[in-house]
Chain A
Amino acid sequence: MIQVNNISKSFTGRSILKDINFTFETGKTNIIIGESGSGKTTLLKCMVGLNEIDSGEILYDGRSFFDLDFKGKKAIRKEIGMLFQGGALFDSKTVEENVVFPLSMFTDMSVEEKRDRANFCLQRVNLNNANNLYPSELSGGMKKRVAIARAIAVQPKYLFCDEPNSGLDPKTSIVIDSLIKEITEEYNITTIVITHDMNSVIEIGDNIMFIYKGEKWWEGNKHEILKTTNKEICDFVYATEFMKDLKEKFQ
């Protein structure tokens, strides 16, 4: 479980996050939604320690991240898996080497054990016969799957996904969403997903936080979000004609 308490962050005097509070539950897919520029990625970067916070605290199962020393922070980071928007795969390494990399850095596994674990993770994300390909030879969906395999290789307790569906076709998006959901439940991980994609929200969102202009505007689940009358959320959720039609149909 990750608790975010009263987080504020500003850049060069401009306030980006204002007093955010939220609890991200273990074994559930916690989704952060909001318009572009609302502060979602900044919140995620603060949570993983890539950005310092101005005030507040972030608790990883009770451990206050920013109060920890270098070793303590490093220990928490070893429990974090992250899926970046572009995949962030290492260009100079093959698919297998990318997945093996965190194992080589943090475990004393033999070469065989590491290869077996990498193959297991790659099979888990339905990626077979791609071990020797380089990231430049992969499609967008394959890159995301390799990134998920790399993230789960070290059996993380916390999984962060920054817009996992960006640049993917609807069918591949569903595959990635399903994978994230399955992995979260299978390994009892605390998963945090940032997305703009309402299909993902409805498909996998157990807990949802809506950020508007740097503030937590609303929280609830996927059933509640469809019923809410909050203007800002409705503007976001029913921005497309398809969603508007869907709403009218159900009403």
Chain B
Amino acid sequence: MRVFYHFGKYYLFIKRAFGKPEKFSIYIDRIFEEINILGIGSLGIVAIISVFMGAVITIQSAFNFESPLIPLYAVGVAVRDSMILEFSPAIVSLILAGKVGSSIASEIGTMRVTEQIDALEIMGINSAGYLVFPKIIASLLFNPILVVFSMFLGILGGYLFGLMAGVVTDYEYIYGITYEFRPYNVMYALIKSAVFAFIIASVPAFHGYYTSGGALEVGRSSTKGVVYSSVLILAFDLILTQLLLS
């Protein structure tokens, strides 16, 4: 029964967060601030992880496709599909749930225990709307960009490391990544990334918002936010894959 209680509480929280803004121009500014903090600030980690993952997938695929019956361009196909279908939307979102989610939960949790949220409420400001709505919108707008960026860098990383390691040729890799390319796969990845973006921003914010106590509880909320958002990302990954690809 506790699950229904928390789900209801989360629903009411999201409803409040999407309430009418006090001043729209301030919310627009806040969205750009959050894009800078949550989105631009994540470019570095996404770039590093994507390049290395692309490289590792290339080398592993080449190692496993040793049979003369499998053409070498299959390495390019494997890297492309791994990056587009799963790595960029799901694994990058899991990494962001850790990086961005903990930051959101601890920021809002600290604001709660230091009475900054109470101060907003007393001023007559919808604190959930002011704090959480811009984070969700920023995440929804920028996560798909991060995912496309990750796809591009992953495939590029696979290409560069594949050539350097001598496991694939220039022609075969490029032939492989264009072989029977389905644009729908990118659409599928973007749909997943939008759903995951909502989870990454809203679930840790929910845990941070309802923090009570002190520094210890802020840490607990941060951990809960990351764990629950990661589990939800995996669950929705499965559900969306079944719905969109079956």
Residues of chain A having any CB pair with chain B under 8 Å: 48-50, 73-75, 77-78, 80, 82, 84-86, 88-91, 102, 104-106, 160
Known: A90-B119, A104-B23. 16 other contacts (CB 8 A): A48-B122, A50-B118, A50-B122, A77-B121, A78-B124, A84-B118, A84-B119, A85-B115, A86-B114, A88-B116, A89-B116, A90-B116, A91-B110, A91-B114, A91-B116, A105-B23
User: Which residues of chain B come closer than 8 Å to A73, judged between CB atoms?
Assistant: 124
Contacting residues, chain B, for A50 (C-beta < 8 A)? 118, 121-122
- CB <8 Å contact, A88 and B118: yes
- Docked Cα-Cα span, A86 to B116, in Å, equals 10
In the bound complex, residues from chain A placing their C-beta under 8 Å from that of B164 are: none
Report chain A residues within 8 Å CB of B111: 91
A68 to chain B, nearest CB (A): 12
Please list the 9 inter-chain residue pairs (A to B) with the smallest Cβ-Cβ separation, ordered nearest first: A77-B124, A88-B115, A88-B119, A74-B124, A78-B124, A84-B115, A82-B122, A88-B116, A48-B122
B118 nearest in chain A by CB position: A50
Chain B residues with a Cβ closer than 8 Å to the other chain, count: 15
A155 to chain B, nearest CB (A): 13
In the assembly, what is the distance between CA of A105 and CA of B26, in Å?
Answer: 7
Interface residues of B (CB under 8 A from A): 22-23, 26, 110-111, 114-116, 118-119, 121-125
Whether B125 contacts A105 by the Cβ 8 Å rule is: yes
When distances are taken between beta carbons in the complex, the residues of chain A under 8 Å from B123 are 77-78, 80, 102, 105-106
Hey, which chain A residues are within 8 Å of B121, CB to CB?
A: 49-50, 77
A228 to B111, CA, bound (A): 42
Please state if A104 and B122 are interface contacts (CB–CB under 8 Å).
no
Write the nearest CB–CB distance from B153 to chain A, whole angstroms: 31
How far does the alpha carbon of A73 sit from the alpha carbon of B126 in the complex, in Å?
A: 12
- Complex CA gap A102/B122 in Å reads 11
Is B23 touching A77 in the complex (CB atoms < 8 A)? Answer: no
Contacts of B26 on A, CB cut-off 8 Å?
A: 104-105
A91 to B118, CA, bound (A): 14
Chain B residues whose CB sits within 8 angstroms of the CB of A106 once the complex forms = 22-23, 123-124
With a CB–CB cut-off of 8 A, which chain B residues contact A90? 116, 119
Q: How far in angstroms is the closest Cβ of chain B from A120?
A: 19
- Would you give the shortest CB distance from B129 to chain A, in whole angstroms? 12
Does the CB pair A80–B115 fall under 8 Å?
A: no
Distance in angstroms between the alpha carbons of A110 and B110 in the assembled complex: 32
Cα of A85 to Cα of B119 in the assembled complex, Å: 11
A88 lies within 8 A of B114 (CB): yes
Query: In the docked arrangement, what's the CA distance between A75 and B123, Å?
Result: 10
From B23, B119, B125, A82 is in contact (CB under 8 Å) with B119
Chain B, Cβ-Cβ closest to A79: B124
The answer to whether A105 touches B22 (Cβ under 8 A) is yes
Residue with the greatest number of chain B CB neighbours at <10 A, chosen from A90, A105, A160: A105
Show 27 residue pairs from A and B whose CB-CB distance is below 8 angstroms, ordered by the A residue. A48-B122, A49-B122, A50-B118, A75-B124, A77-B122, A77-B123, A78-B123, A80-B123, A82-B122, A84-B118, A84-B119, A86-B114, A86-B115, A88-B118, A88-B119, A90-B116, A90-B119, A91-B110, A91-B111, A91-B116, A102-B123, A104-B23, A105-B23, A105-B26, A105-B123, A105-B125, A160-B122
A77 to B122, CA, bound (A): 6
Q: How distant is B165 from chain A, measured CB to nearest CB, in Å?
A: 46
Which residues of chain B come closer than 8 Å to A85, judged between CB atoms?
115
